[in-house]
């Protein structure tokens, strides 16, 4: 999964892969998917903060 250049793609494909074997709400609670989601949210927050400052 690390071949995807964007964190959003990594998160989406990891979630889809995990959701094939379990319900989506359980897949979202997996540690590696939580970390990917956190990275995506952090990057978006940084963009939003930088947009307001400049």
Which are the contacts of 7, defined by CB distance < 8 A and separation ≥ 6? Answer: 36, 39, 40, 43
Please tell me the predicted confidence (pLDDT) of residue 3: 75
Task: Render each residue's pLDDT in the chain as its tens digit; 54 residues.
Answer: 467 788 889 999 999 999 999 999 999 999 999 999 999 999 999 999 988 776
Q: pTM for the whole thing? A: 0.79
Please tell me the predicted confidence (pLDDT) of residue 1: 47
Q: Using an 8 Å Cβ cutoff, are 1 and 13 in contact?
A: yes
Q: Which of 41, 5, 40, 4 is nearest to 17 (CA)?
A: 4
Please tell me the predicted confidence (pLDDT) of residue 54: 60
């Amino acid at each position: 999964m690390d071949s995807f250049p964007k964190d959003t793609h990594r998160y989406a494909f990891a979630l889809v892969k995990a959701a094939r074997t379990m319900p989506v709400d359980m897949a979202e609670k997996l540690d590696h998917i939580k970390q990917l989601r956190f990275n995506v949210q952090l990057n978006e927050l940084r963009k939003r903060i930088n947009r307001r400052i400049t």
